[in-house]
Amino acid sequence: MVRKDAVIIFGDTFTFPDGNAATNRVYTFAKGFYENKIESFVICFRNDYVETVEGSVDGIHYYHPFNQVKRSTSFFKRRFVKLYKYFRAYRTIRSINHDHTIIAINLWTNRLWVQIYIYFLGLVFRTIIIHEHSEHPLREYQKPGIKNILGETKSYLGTRLCDGIFCISKYLINFYHERGVKDRKLILVPSTVDTERFLNKGLPPLPYEYILYCGSLTIQKDGVDILVDSFERVSREFPDIKLVLLGKGDSLSEESDIKRKVKELDLTEDVQLLGQLSRTEVPAYICHAKILALARPRSIVADAGFPSKLTEYLSSGKPVVVTKVGEIPDYLIDSEHAFLSEPNNAEEFANKLLFVLHNYDNALIVGNKGKRLTETTFNYNYQAKRMVEFIRSLNQHLSPANRM
């Protein structure tokens, strides 16, 4: 029997097959590997209670080694299954290794002990480890003193426990260069999108015109409060257009603050919070929106990352209004691919939204130019080819026993 090459995507920062932005990125990685003749296996290492603990979607095999459908009433059993998932994960990888040649484990975690665990599994199964970095590794360690030192130490150890790093931005490439990580261990993998999801638009999901935000209902990360403020100005001039918010908050407090702002601005009837929808439902809402909006504020998260929702917005060909944060201006030109606004400025963001509504035919031309970027730079298959080449180059120069 000919053994097929395989990549395992392993982590606890995403859910699968449905979930948030990280899930979408995992999905594009796995689908891209699969279409480039590399078998894809996703191991979701979270302690989630799910109805399906093992399955397959679009040729992507996935596993939940926590293996729990509902929460046990026994304290000791709950502790046991949290520990036993490490053995289940090992057994799953061993089974994959029996029939395939594992050319890499792509690790998604912020936990040092999980990195150590996967490092040793890499030694056991003689495969390389490539860590995914889509956010700033020190975002939770910004306070000076001991906390910052702990963050730097954790980040340093993480770079020593892997053979390569997928970086979503040039900012992160430079961050690791400055900390002595060799260039051959780093590759820029920008936001990736599966454009096929947005080809079949179907029927409009809502009976009215709307501006759409799709993502986490967050203030510090995505500035949903700024968007609501901007929409309040827009609604005075276009009272028939609503603002639709898809998603849920990363924290209950931020989501509550957004709902409170909606109420304070007397927008309860005009701002529709629809909650988190399944991955298959979202494209219809994006494709039928009048405008797609992202008022992300300036922050360390914005500097180091790149919002996956933005590439999904662009895939629709609809006008996109977004703030000039991080590396967004490196890819998008104002009024050519999208409409770019200064961050942390609700009035200017509102003006951009109004400009699009007043010049909608021209805005659609801009939207179509933005869509072309998703067929090249941000296309998942194009980036998967680069990742496979990177993995093979690491396998030629590195061995699991020679990482330090």
pTM, two decimals, is 0.90
* 398 pLDDT tier (thresholds 50, 70, 90): low
Round to whole Å and give the CA distance between 177 and 200: 42
- Percent of the chain having pLDDT more than 70? 98
- Tens of pLDDT, residue by residue over 141-156, are 777 788 888 888 999 9
pLDDT band at 399 (very low <50, low <70, confident <90, very high): low
Burial of residue 219, with CB atoms counted within 10 A of its CB: 0-12 exposed, 13-18 middle, 19 or more buried: buried
Rounded CA separation 392/388 (Å): 6
Cβ neighbours, 10 Å, residue 62: 21
Task: Calculate the alpha carbon distances from 313 to 337, 364, 403 in Å.
Answer: 11, 13, 39
DSSP E strands in 217-366: the ranges are 242-246, 271-275, 291-294, 320-323, 339-341
Nearest to 67 by CA among 77, 78, 53, 55: 53
Nearest of 303, 226, 230 to residue 258 by alpha carbon: 226
List residues bridging with 107 in a β-sheet.
10, 131
- Encoded tokens for 100: 């395939």
* Calpha distance 22→34 (Å, rounded): 18
Q: Where are the beta strands (DSSP E) in 134-269?
A: 164-167, 186-188, 210-214, 242-246
Each residue's pLDDT tens digit, 295-306: 999 998 888 999
Beta bridge partners of 379: 193
Mind listing the pLDDT tens digit for each residue in 249-273?
777 788 899 999 999 999 999 999 9
Q: Would you give the distance in Å from CA 86 to the centre of its chain?
A: 25
Domains, the chain, in order of start with CATH, read: 4-192+379-397 (3.40.50.2000), 196-374 (3.40.50.2000)
Tens of pLDDT, residue by residue over 64-89, are 999 999 999 999 999 999 999 999 99
If DSSP codes are grouped into helix, strand and coil, which group holds residue 72?
A: coil
pLDDT at 403 exceeding the cut of 50: no
Q: Is the pLDDT of residue 402 over 60?
A: no
Q: How many CB atoms lie within 10 A of CB 386?
A: 14
Interatomic CA distance for residues 339 and 353, integer angstroms: 9
The strand pair at 242-246 and 271-275 is best described as parallel
Span 33-64, pLDDT tens digits: 999 999 999 999 999 999 999 999 888 999 99
- C-alpha–C-alpha distance, residues 345 and 291, integer Å: 18
Q: Where are the beta strands (DSSP E) in 109-236?
A: 128-133, 164-167, 186-188, 210-214
Phi/psi at 245 (nearest 5 deg)?
-110, 115
3-state secondary structure (DSSP) of residue 191: coil
pLDDT tens by residue, 85-117: 999 999 999 999 999 999 999 999 999 999 999
pLDDT of the residue at 110? 93
Tell me the average pLDDT across 335-348: 97
